[in-house]
Structure 1
């Protein structure tokens, strides 16, 4: 009887530990994309291919803050600082001050990203991380020192001013594919994109999941192109503020829910990686190599909020601190004003009296020669 109770208690303990681990968080992968012309990250070593270190979300936020040119949080531990030194170059004067931070959801197996033959992501620094219900924050100074640009503006097939057959056709041509539109019904054609592995990704705009995936992909491209246009318009002016481009991509999650984690979903990941490689190259040209990418791949987070929230820590001015102090009462203010006014009147009266006395004695001086002034005094 005691043996059965002991076995049952052991099974209950193991089950509890598994539940706690599942609630603690799931795993994901994060890729740091460096600039090919201005390196800001440490180069990959042979050890990176054998083992991949894990990082915490606060450490990722600290790395983004340092890349933007700001000091990390003072509460960062020594172990976390050591992890940052393994990712970032030690030169504090060489920071890109521009970061593309994108969160890709729906990739249940992060290793599928490495399996694809994508030169940009295979050469990037890869770190594993765990995420759960707790969110991390990126602490930045006031919004006058850093500009946060959202990449989450969504295009839709429901509006005529957003996604059109022409935009889908242009995207297919840009990717080397083909889009066959439906002459009877708009936005109901078939999209075919050749992949690097030799297979073709076929998407039908008549299916809801395929439409949402293409809408998410076109939205991301549209938002990045908008940032590039803004950058080109401001190319002649002095740009002192840092820039953080942040967004979240849910298109893979839609394919995963419809078709499962393999098949079409994996082909969607490959198409996304190719698109990100092209867009990151365009950002490199627009920013003249002064930008770094931080791309994270996760499964299905427990909440719809982003894992890394941007927080501004504005420094209060001395005048603002003085105004927040407790002000004295009205009686004390009146006493201080009376003392100051009395001192002012007394000082004024003394000055006027001294001036009048000086004028009086000056006008009544005798017209005799001053013997001390006009005599030749010899000092032995």
Structure 2
């Protein structure tokens, strides 16, 4: 089995077990998706301590190639070492972090960790010019997807969409079927279609950034709510069915991401037990940029006098420099004119003196 097929099978298996076990164990978990040909995480068989969301956020910062927050404790730094390969000069520089709502914890033999608290956490990054952010949380509506778009989505997985029924074949000769005339099915499927379209746009943006002299780090972040709708309408059976399709979609998308990013991207999936809310679990902040409020207060502070003095000095220097350049230009023109006249005089004398000498000899 080639590495890509092995990666796809492993990803599909782990994600399926991961999401199915979330309903059983009742715990929130974080799941790390690695590149099979160039590992950035420890082996899936490694044992990892429970992580807080702040420690997950610090892990994302390190994966993007930046130092962890200065407030990170020694104990938290030790936990990060349990997750990451100890090579600070070899980080992917690109991360997809996805929050899955309407599900709970995980209990499998894989590189994963329980999440100790559910409080919102920060992902601290340096200057905004060094990081490209792409959000997957733009609002969506069912009406934005036509029958053709849904049919194209099904064809991507060798399936079909006919008369409102989406059919996706499985490897065991069974089929996954969703009736989009039903509200829960339609919400789940359109959520998946929206997710794939947005990830594809993120890859297009990466293609544009790849030509830059200094390519920024890339963070793709978002939230998937579709499983919640299936859980509310069908219970555990609906979640298990949706999990299979979600696993197929994410496996396919990560194949595309790995190819587009040439292996320099990893995934972090956080399974959140609480229902979907407006706010994400993670808040991206830039540590080296002052806020707009701080800038406004600076304008109105006593430092405005010092700024005006600096502007006055710069203008004065500019005027003096301009005047000196004008004087230098005029002097240059005058010297050039004198030299020109002197040269003409010498040429005239050169032809006059031989003629005078010849006349005297006669």
Q: TM-score, normalised by structure 2?
A: 0.70
Aligned pairs for 1:95-106 (under 5 A) are: 95-106=91-102
| Cα distance between partner residues in 2 of 1:327 and 1:306 | 38
- The aligned residue for residue 85 of structure 1 is 81
Decide whether aligned partners of structure 1 residues 59 and 328 sit closer, same or farther in structure 2, where only a CA change above 3 A counts. closer
Q: Which runs of 5+ in 1 are unaligned?
A: 1-25, 115-121, 182-188, 338-380
Per-residue deviation, residues 49-76 of structure 1 (Å, max 9, x unmatched)? xxx5311111001000001111111121
Aligned partners of 1:224 and 1:192: how far apart in 2?
A: 22
Looking at structure 1, the residues matched to 37 and 122 of structure 2 have their Cα atoms a distance apart, in angstroms, of 30
C-alpha displacement of 1:173 = 1.8
Q: Distance in 2 between matches of 1:200 and 1:108?
A: 26
Structure that is richer in helix per residue: 2
Equivalent in the alignment of 1:55: 51
Please name the residue that 1:35 is paired with.
35
User: For residues 214 and 32 of structure 1, do their structure 2 counterparts lie closer, same or farther at Cα, with a shift above 3 Å needed?
Assistant: same
| Aligned residue in 2 for 1:130 | 116
- 1:285 is displaced (CA, Å) by 0.8
Q: How does 1:313-324 map to 2 (within 5 A)?
A: 313-314=287-288
Task: Give the whole-Å Cα distance in 2 for the aligned partners of 1:174 and 1:323.
Answer: 55
Instruction: Output the CA distance in 2 between the equivalents of 1:141 and 1:234.
Output: 18
The 3-state SS of whatever aligns with 2:191 is helix
The aligned counterpart of 1:108 is 104
Matched, 1:177 2:162: no
The offset of 1:327, in angstroms, is: 5.1
1:236 and 2:189 are equivalent in the alignment: no
Change in 2 beyond 3 A, CA 1:302/1:282: closer
Whether contact under 8 Å (1:154, 1:216) holds in the other structure is no
Give the alignment of 1:183-262 within 5 angstroms.
189-196=164-171, 199-260=174-235, 262=236
Residue in structure 1 matched with residue 268 of structure 2 by the alignment: 294
168-177 or 53-62, which moves further after superposition? Answer: 168-177
Unmatched 5+ stretches in structure 2: 1-25, 314-362
State the TM-score, normalized to the length of structure 1: 0.67
Instruction: Kindly indicate whether the alpha-carbon contact (under 8 Å) linking 1:27 and 1:131 is maintained by their aligned counterparts in 2.
Output: no
Instruction: Confirm or deny: 8 A CA contact 2:168 2:176 kept in the other structure.
Output: yes
For 1:206 and 1:70, the matched residues in 2 are separated by: 47
1:156 correspondence with 2:141: yes
Output the CA distance in 2 between the equivalents of 1:275 and 1:299: 21
Q: What is the CA–CA distance in structure 2 between the aligned matches of 1:43 and 1:324, rounded to whole Å? A: 55
**What CA distance in whole angstroms lies between the structure 1 residues aligned with 2:132 and 2:105?**
33
Superposed CA offset, 1:126-160 (max 9, x none): 1111333x2111111121111111012344222xx
CA contact (8 A) 2:159 2:168 kept: yes
Partner of 2:60: 64
Cα offset for 1:36? 2.2
Q: What is the aligned partner in structure 2 of residue 311 from structure 1?
A: 285
Distance 1:303 1:249 in 2: 11
Q: Distance in 2 between matches of 1:315 and 1:230?
A: 24
Alignment coverage as a number of residue pairs: 278
Runs of 4+ in 1 over 6 A off after TM superposition: 320-325
Report the Cα distance in structure 2 between the residues aligned to 1:257 and 1:144, rounded to whole angstroms: 42
